[in-house]
Amino acid sequence: MTKKEKSTNPLWGGRFKTGADQAAESFSASVHIDKRLFEADIKGSIAYAEALKKGEIINANELSKIKKGLGKILQEIKQNKFEWDPSLEDVHMNIESRLVKIAGEAAKKIHTGRSRNDQIATDLRLFLINKIDDISKSLTSLQKTIVKLASENTETIMPGLTHLQIAQPITFGHHLLAWNEMLSRDYSRIKDAQERMNVLPLGSAALSGTRFNIDREFLAKKLGFKEISRNSMDAVSDRDFVMELASSLSILGIHLSRICEEIIIWASSQFNYIELSDEVCTGSSIMPQKKNPDIAELIRGGSSKTIANLIGLLALMKNLPLSYNRDMQDDKGFIFSSVDYSEDSINLLSLIIKGIKPNKETMRQDCYKGQITATDLADYLVEKNMSFRRAHEVVGKIVAYAESKKLQIFELDITELTKFSKLIEKDVINYLDPLKTILSRKQIGGTAPSQVKKEIKKVKRTLSQRK
């Protein structure tokens, strides 16, 4: 059969004299990507068939055949017995075509008053709502893992860094809770996105709604949607719910990347703050001593995909007129990639953190480097009624003097310190010892062990209340 003689698509080819060119057919097919929506598609079709019955568009016998047929198709797909045909373009037409073979004429009524436009918008929302539930549960599990490690290290001291330079002493538990805060906001963002996508498009048909008696309230209840779309054109032609989720997942990806970056730095021989478990590391093909943090590096690298996917979605949608355009079928590749990265990376990061063994002594020793309590010395002078800017200048000179003698400021004799300010007295020692300065940070959000323990209790309570 020549290309011109090729038969037209049985589901939409009535207007056409010939079938599509083979290259064009292959180019336009999306089933290799959107077949992942099969469960949502079948769920939506079952509900829609019931709505057709409720509207007296099909009878009970036809409904029964359709539901049985869709149930059979679901099992075929799950058992890898379903044959996906790229010539049928997408998941919807593949399933409907198979349904016609199983259920006969009854199946040909399933698309009454429905378009692939509102069908895909419904499928994608159902799929992503469920994926957000999965990601949310994984995020909660990751946060619990972080909090557990924090609770074991409320009094483990370490240097807090800015610009990767020693800045001020903190507790390891406090640093870990900073990770938790980032992830808590990520959780909120994706759940907020889920709320806004929980709107039923089905019943919008191609773009103008349907003349058939389709009870959309009934459909929403059947499919678990909280709301119904209020404009049929908007319902089928916008993908802001996809872009919003992609944005939230890109921010999550950045946070996962930053956490992994710190893990990689801490596990380096130069820092040696933590040891990673063997199960998340690899060796070198040439250097037998190596233990490389490969999984953390792959999570860090993979986060770039979430950023690229967001940009891809924004670029895809920015010039599209209302209503539906075929360009929009490419949205799934972007968001599926971000969803997959998020699920895998969250679970693997949890595995990494579970295996972390802090090298507490190394952390402690580094708290006695880098003039780490210089800020506390400035605070001491302020408490003695010196202006902060003047105190900053005085301490800067003390630091320069200490470094000229290759000493830390806490190693200077009191007589040396008083040369810079007569306000300095013997009680200054309480401001120069890293451990004592940590104990003083008792305010909400501070690094003092007492405050970190309070925060851990609060966080544990919050995490336990999540559904």
Q: How many CB atoms lie within 10 A of CB 73?
A: 24
The DSSP code for 322 is S
Whether 279 shows a pLDDT value over 50: the answer reads: yes
Task: Please name the residue ranges forming H helices in 318-387.
Answer: 331-354, 360-366, 374-383
- pLDDT-based confidence at residue 467 (cuts at 50, 70, 90): confident
pLDDT tens figures, 362-413: 999 999 999 999 999 999 999 999 999 999 999 999 999 999 999 999 999 9
Active site amino acids: 163, 284
pTM for the predicted model, two decimal places? 0.94
Whether 5 shows a pLDDT value over 60: the answer reads: no
Task: Please name the residue ranges forming H helices in 268-330.
Answer: 294-317
Whether 24 shows a pLDDT value over 90: the answer reads: no
pLDDT tens figures, 305-336: 999 999 999 999 999 999 999 999 999 999 99
Domain positions in the chain: 21-112, 117-153+160-211+224-365, 370-459
What is the C-alpha separation between 192 and 331, in angstroms, rounded? Answer: 20
pLDDT, average across residues 46-55: 98
pLDDT of residue 4: 45
The H-or-E segment that residue 389 falls in is: helix 388-404
pLDDT of residue 54: 98
Burial 241-276 (b: 16+ CB within 10 A, else e): bbbbbbbbbbbbbbbbbebbebbbebbeeebebbeb
- The CATH homologous superfamily for domain 21-112 is Fumarase/aspartase (N-terminal domain) (1.10.275.10)
Dig out the tokens for 141 from the structure.
């599990």
pLDDT tens figures, 202-247: 999 999 999 999 999 999 999 999 999 999 999 999 999 999 999 9
Crossing angle for the helix pair 38-54 and 60-78, to the nearest 10 degrees: 180
- The CATH homologous superfamily for domain 117-153+160-211+224-365 is Fumarase/aspartase (Central domain) (1.20.200.10)
169: closest CA among 311, 21, 372? 372
In the block, residue with structure tokens 């969803």: 339
In the block, residue with structure tokens 């509900």: 47
pLDDT tens figures, 245-261: 999 999 999 999 999 99
Domain 370-459 class?
Answer: mainly alpha
- pLDDT-based confidence at residue 6 (cuts at 50, 70, 90): low
